Amino acid sequence: MRKVLQIALSVLVASSLAYGSEQFSMSDADRALYEELLDNNPADMMLASGSEHLDALGGAASLAKYLEQSEDSLASYLAGFPRYIDKYKSVVSIDQMLQAFMHDSGAKAYTLKSEEMFNMSSYVKSLGNEQAINIDINANKYMQEAYALGKEVFNTRRGGRGLSCYNCHNSNVIGAVLRTQPLPDISAKGNASAATWPAYRMTKSKLATLQKRFQGCMENALLAVIPLGSKEMTALEVYFTHEAKGAPIAIPGLKR
């Protein structure tokens, strides 16, 4: 399995380079470290911790039952998040679903920004490794609305600088530099970055979810940070994940 993930990550990196994604911003030294860590991603230990957290709740079998899935269908189901879940009456990401799972199991739910939740949600998403992202934004009106909102968040200018996500991440700015880093084009159709988040960030020496990475980007651009798990943040994840639809999941990712 580990070898398969290394191959999948290598393919995704090559694809990302073609679109000027995050890997494009690596220095030679960073790239050398990246290649080394592909064989020993520090996040593996964090996912092992996440596995223990899930085991305390009954493991994957218990989660599958909670989601009304068979153990065999669980991986494919997880590859469709964020998704609308009727019992919550809302579109949720994996970590929000896990909060509800913990609460409904009689356990105290981890906060979305906690290390425990990062580890457990990353492990749970990794259960879908090698599955193609199958998010369905046309499944119902709630998913359609979430996608539309996420696209709006991505493209709306805000803050004192009047910047949007798109301003810094489109094909017209590839090669431009912000905070000493070349800007990647994450607006490109087929961009597969969402398939490799949660990921270990070499510059932070920690595991981060996709929504947490969004927050870091907002901070760097001096924008008001959208809260984790908010309607807008979840919608942004829906939009970003839809752009990666069909890409194989390979968690944990490895980022600069």
Binding residues: 165, 168-169, 213, 217
Please say whether the beta carbons of 198 and 208 come within 8 A.
yes
171 near 185, Cβ under 8 Å?
A: yes
Known catalytic residue: 118?
Answer: no
Instruction: Write down the catalytic residue from 33, 132, 202, 217.
Output: 217
Q: Which residues contact 217 (CB under 8 A, 6 or more apart)?
A: 165, 168
Residue 144: Cβ-neighbour burial (10 angstroms; 0-12, 13-18, 19+): middle
Which residue do the tokens 């920690």 mark? 206
Distance, in Å, from the CA atom of 176 to the CA atom of 168, rounded to the nearest integer, reads: 9
Binding-site members for heme c are: 165, 168-169, 217
Q: Give the integer Cα–Cα distance in Å for 9 and 256.
A: 14
Catalytic residues: 217
